[in-house]
Amino acid sequence: MAVIKKKKGNFLEDFRVGHVFHHKVGKTLTAGLFNAFTEFDMTTNPLSKNKRYAERYGFRDLVAPPGLVMNIVFSQSVEDISENARANLEYINMRFGAPLYIGDTIEVASTVLGVKPSGREPDRGVVHVQTSGRNQDGEVVLTYERKVQVWKGNADATVTEATIDRVPEVACTPQLPVYDASRRYAELARLTSPDTYYEDLNPGDTIEHSRGRVVTTEHVALTAMLDNTSQVHCNQFMVDQNPDKYIGGQLIVFGGIPFNLCLGLSCPDVADNAVTDLVYTTGRHTAPIFAGDTVFASTELRAKRDWPERPDLGIVATTLRGHKFVRKGDAWEKVEIFYLEREIAVKRRSHYA
């Protein structure tokens, strides 16, 4: 006869370098979840919207956009890694592999790469993990490292500080259909922008994407749909009891939502002629988002280069930034909310239009 309240998630002292978490549950991408996310964010790449187009390009079906891939894999790791986190510090070397389709089932595992208590603040520290998601055929769809600041559960607990000797190598390369001129891609070229091919993107330019999108309380349902169990996104009573403890004194929008939204807002200007995102070398959330905020984005084109194996494509290195405006007296202050170094594989007009 007992009243039991089970511990959820891990605290700083629970992490051991080298340990591998096989995250529970797993997730089949239903057409419902695909719709909720793909269409939520104003993505305009026909590979994610137009089945006829995706099949013409040699994909099996509509392709999940990168923000949805990231959201699914990341959320599966939340309970074990960051249910008791204070802040997500950095995404590192996030790479895309097999395309993700409706009906695919994703299961996720994470390896602990490092544990480091804070020098100044005894109640927290940083956990460094590598997380990979695989589909039902064992193919990696996404792999990345992240650093997250995690609370200690017991102030007196001993934390085993360590760093892994060598980050495990995870084979993860984009699986793209081969280029095949007999597919007559140009017949469908009118479905994308005429000025977003590799030839059009000029390093040095910064594109301010014109559209904005308010985030409503829909964020609570979207986060639940992802199986993200972090309470700061959905437990209003917890926040109301102790608003000073929580940033802004209200429910914070899960970072995966502005991440997805910034990718979508940038799409018509830089990514509707991309065939895949390749890698996010580094990324971070630089300010929180709350219901009622309108999210905007810009893309800095940093560099571009040939892709030797794929003469039909080129690689464009960009920086994607998100921002919102916060009222200060009678004025509005522009606040950066998101920073992502992003490489994408973009079609060449010479081959596709």
Q: Is 44 in the site for its own copies (CB under 8 A)?
A: yes
Cα 188 from Cα 347, distance rounded (Å): 13
- Closest CB 238 distance from its own copies, rounded Å: 6
DSSP string spanning 218-241? Answer: HHHHHHHHTT---GGGT-HHHHHH
Select from 123-131, 226-234, 273-281, 314-322 the region that touches its own copies (CB under 8 A). 226-234
Q: Is 353 in the site for its own copies (CB under 8 A)?
A: no
Q: Are 220 and 300 in contact (CB under 8 A)?
A: no
Q: Is 217 in the site for its own copies (CB under 8 A)?
A: yes
193: CB partners within 8 A, 6+ apart: 268, 269, 272, 273
- Closest CB 118 distance from its own copies, rounded Å: 25
- Closest CB 311 distance from its own copies, rounded Å: 26
Q: Indicate the residue among 99 and 114 with the shorter CB distance to its own copies.
A: 99
- Closest CB 115 distance from its own copies, rounded Å: 22
| Distance (Å) of CA 317 to CA 144, 304, 353 | 18, 6, 22
Between residue 235 and residue 274, which ones bind its own copies under the rule CB under 8 A?
A: 235-238, 241, 251, 268-269, 272
- Closest CB 227 distance from its own copies, rounded Å: 7
Between residue 79 and residue 108, which ones bind its own copies under the rule CB under 8 A?
A: 102-103, 105, 107
Q: Indicate the residue among 150 and 207 with the shorter CB distance to its own copies.
A: 207
Q: Is 136 in the site for its own copies (CB under 8 A)?
A: yes
Q: Indicate the residue among 89 and 291 with the shorter CB distance to its own copies.
A: 291
Select from 1-9, 117-125, 150-158, 179-187 the region that touches its own copies (CB under 8 A). 1-9
Between residue 305 and residue 344, which ones bind its own copies under the rule CB under 8 A?
A: 324-325, 332
Backbone φ, ψ for residue 16 (5° rounding): -125, 130
How many residues sit in the footprint of its own copies (CB under 8 A)?
Answer: 80
106-130 in b/e form (b: 16+ CB < 10 A) is bbbbbbbbbbebeeeeeebbbbbbb
DSSP string spanning 62-75? Answer: PPPPHHHHHHHHHH
Out of 73, 207, 297, 313, which residue is the one contacting its own copies (CB under 8 A)?
207
Q: Is 351 in the site for its own copies (CB under 8 A)?
A: no
Q: Shortest CA distance to 104 belongs to which of 75, 127, 73, 125? A: 73
Q: Indicate the residue among 124 and 213 with the shorter CB distance to its own copies.
A: 213
- Closest CB 259 distance from its own copies, rounded Å: 16
Out of 121, 205, 333, 336, which residue is the one contacting its own copies (CB under 8 A)?
205
Cα 275 from Cα 288, distance rounded (Å): 30
Q: Indicate the residue among 20 and 122 with the shorter CB distance to its own copies.
A: 20
DSSP string spanning 304-345? Answer: EEE-TT-TTEEEEEEEEEEEEEEEETTEEEEEEEEEEEEEEE
Cα 184 from Cα 347, distance rounded (Å): 14
**Angle of CA points 107, 289, 240, to nearest 5°:** 95
- Closest CB 117 distance from its own copies, rounded Å: 25
Between residue 148 and residue 187, which ones bind its own copies under the rule CB under 8 A?
A: none
Q: Indicate the residue among 91 and 197 with the shorter CB distance to its own copies.
A: 197
Cα 68 from Cα 257, distance rounded (Å): 9
